[in-house]
Amino acid sequence: MKTYNVAVAGAMGLVGSTMVRILEEYDFPVNRLKLLESKEWVGTPVRFKGETLYVEEGTEEAFEGVDIALFATHEAVSARLAPAAAKRGAIAIDNSRHFRLDPNVPLVVPEVNPEDLKWHNGIIANPNCTTIGTIVVLKPIHDLSPIKRVVASTYQAVSGGAIRGQLELKKQCVDIAAGFEPSPPSVFAYQIAYNLIPFIDVFEADGYTREEWKMIHETRKMLHEPNMAITDTAIRVPVLNCHSVSCNIETRDKVTVEQAREALSKAPGVKVVDDIEKLEFPQPIRVSGGNLVHVGRIREDFSIENGLNLFLVSDNVRKGAAQNAVQIAQVLVEQGLVEEWQRRS
């Protein structure tokens, strides 16, 4: 079996370290793995497939000889280093928002639009974590009948604020349980323990946040529906891991609950968890650490002619970031696109 030299940039962060674990879990055909980070992490030992690897500094030169580069870095770092990796013959798969809406860069979820990988020019964008979980569920319904409108409310876990976000929730919960005033927020705008924060990211002039616009624009791009009507409200919730989304979907033609449930039960990456008698529905504590998007509460919206309601949960660190990037790399390998790029570059 052919093997590949792989780099993970941002390897010590929550998403980057998960990428490393998933490469091992998936038994990805790695010849040599390079773990790249900022200077303060250089020399840190990391176990991978029974060996101890050591973190290197993430410079442009570090991508020499790399075939596939996974980026779990901040936008400014990705903007500088992803093109440098591509210039050296690697395919860069970037998790930041920098390239997502670039018309020359494919934005891909393998279960949804793998065909877009064929027109990459060395850089492929990983969508926003909430978009990934949602679009995996929207696509099978869109295939039954084109979606006219989506109204989404996203309930996003503190892991969206990385390890520091999780620690902030835990510390505030401990403070309150002990009878003390909760420690002041530093990751989030307000106290997150026992609270909801009805906005995520910065506000735009129209009153929407950047997080909300991500889902709107990214969904349109991947479904190739630039005029699809989508609206979203993003809410930070006191859940450690996994983002949840309540979706109201209007289709052009009638899609029954039975048709939707059957299509979703056959869709890759999706698990239908929807049993009213047993009260079994998607829950973050049951999805965390898993690879599938769970969907349930599938029911007709009687207020419109062709409407459905549903609720979905996905692990935002795994499927919403690290796992999706590794899945993209798998498709690149399976379709011979790594070698094709090296011939072109």
Burial of residue 30 (number of CB atoms within 10 Å: 0-12, 13-18, 19+): middle
Q: Which of 120, 129, 217, 247 is catalytic?
A: 129
Helix (H, G, I), strand (E, B) or coil at 270: strand
Helix (H, G, I), strand (E, B) or coil at 313: strand
Helix (H, G, I), strand (E, B) or coil at 306: coil
What gap in Å lies between CA 335 and CA 240, rounded to an integer? 37
Determine contact, residues 237/313, Cβ cutoff 8 Å: no
- Residue 1's pLDDT band, with cuts at 50, 70 and 90, is confident
What gap in Å lies between CA 17 and CA 10, rounded to an integer? 8
- Residue 326's pLDDT band, with cuts at 50, 70 and 90, is very high
Average pLDDT for residues 278-297, to the nearest whole number? 98
CA 246 distance to own-chain centroid: 17
What gap in Å lies between CA 44 and CA 55, rounded to an integer? 5
Helix (H, G, I), strand (E, B) or coil at 204: coil
What gap in Å lies between CA 145 and CA 313, rounded to an integer? 23
243 is catalytic: yes
Burial state string for 54-70 with b = 16 or more CB within 10 A and e = fewer than 16:
ebbebeeebbeebbbbb
Q: What is the pLDDT of residue 320?
A: 97
What gap in Å lies between CA 126 and CA 113, rounded to an integer? 12
Average pLDDT for residues 300-322, to the nearest whole number? 97
pLDDT, averaged across the chain? 97
Residue that has been written with the tokens 């616009």 in this structure? 213
Residue that has been written with the tokens 């979706």 in this structure? 247
Q: Which of 98, 217, 243, 294 is catalytic?
A: 243
**AA letter at 187:** V
- Residue 322's pLDDT band, with cuts at 50, 70 and 90, is very high
Average pLDDT for residues 242-248, to the nearest whole number? 98
- pLDDT tens digit sequence for 137-188: 999 999 999 999 999 999 999 999 999 999 999 999 999 999 999 999 999 9
Hey, which residues does 35 pair with through a beta bridge?
A: 8
Decide if pLDDT at 345 tops 90: no
Both tokens assigned to 218: 């990214």
Determine contact, residues 34/28, Cβ cutoff 8 Å: no
All structural domains of the chain: 4-98+321-344 (3.40.50.720), 131-314 (3.30.360.10)
- Residue 39's pLDDT band, with cuts at 50, 70 and 90, is very high
- pLDDT tens digit sequence for 79-91: 999 999 999 999 9
Give the DSSP per-residue string, 46-110. Answer: EEETTEEEE-EE--GGGGTT-SEEEE---HHHHHHHHHHHHHTTPEEEE-SSTTTT-TTS-B--T
224 is catalytic: no
